[in-house]
Amino acid sequence: MQPIYKKQEELIKGARDPLPEELSKQEDYEKPIESDKSPDIDLDILKENRGIPDFWLTAMKNDAQINVLIKEHDEPVLKHLVNIRQELLEDNVIN
């Protein structure tokens, strides 16, 4: 696994806290969001728990192409997803 993905997985799972140089400056969070959707982030939960709860479910629901594929009965399972990997196969060529 590449180092950046390993760090991402550790942060999402709460296996470690972010290093100071990995954190954005406070003013980055104060900028207005350039979207018609505002993120549903409960800051109290983030302070109480390590890791990022429901990270992949939230990420997938914020992608327009993937969101339409997620049904209500999928959400309880997807909340437990902690990593997504992709492997390209050399033999599999799409024309």
Per-residue pLDDT tens over the stretch 37-90: 555 555 565 556 678 888 999 999 999 999 999 999 999 999 988 888 877 777
Backbone angles phi, psi at 47, to 5 degrees: -70, -35
Comparing 80 with 22, the larger pLDDT belongs to 80
50, 17 contact by CB (below 8 A): yes
56, 84 contact by CB (below 8 A): yes
Position 47: which residue type?
K
State yes or no: pLDDT of 19 exceeds 90: no
Backbone angles phi, psi at 41, to 5 degrees: -115, 120
Alpha carbon separation from 51 to 18, 55, 87 (Å, rounded): 10, 9, 25
pLDDT of residue 41: 57
12, 51 contact by CB (below 8 A): yes
